[in-house]
Amino acid sequence: MPGEAHRRRLRALLRLAGVRSAGDLAIAENAFVHESHAKERGMVSNERMEFLGDSVLGFVTAGWLYERFGDEPEGLLTLRKAAIVNDAQLATTARRLGFSDVVQLGAGMRLTGGKKAKAGHPSRDPQTHQSSDRAREALRLATQGFFGQEPL
């Protein structure tokens, strides 16, 4: 998806995620740059953002569960968190939101079926895995206020 069409789709996804203003869209665009695309184009991939996004998503989810289920023991809260923050759930959400429309894959990844499931397992599907990472990153970006708005 070239240029402005890609940016329009990205803005639409951000609105679906509740982000009111996209501010510097370049930050959000980087969240969707797969390593294969970055290597081909001499760009920076989203891997560092993945690292931070994973932690923030876990933290935000833990906080929500702690408040929502205030009387439950730690073991049950941990099980609830694991049921929410896992590749399969995040991939489902990413597919529902259409994140795969904006992930930038390298030519080799596209040719080898990077947008199709491999063996039906989310962690073996580069596109689904990347989509779940996008869900984490989108939440991280929104909660950090990188789009010109107050944190959620």
All structural domains of the chain: 3-144 (1.10.1520.10)
3-state secondary structure 11-57: HHHHHHCCCCCCCCHHHHHHCCECHHHHHHHCCCCCHHHHHHHHHHH
Tokens of 3: 């240029």
- Would you say 5 and 77 are in contact if contact means Cβ atoms under 8 Å apart? no
What pLDDT sits at residue 9?
85
Q: In this predicted model, what pLDDT tens digit does every residue of 34-54 receive, in sequence order? A: 889 899 999 888 888 888 888
pTM score: 0.62
Q: Which residues of the chain have pLDDT under 50?
A: 1, 116-124, 127, 142-152
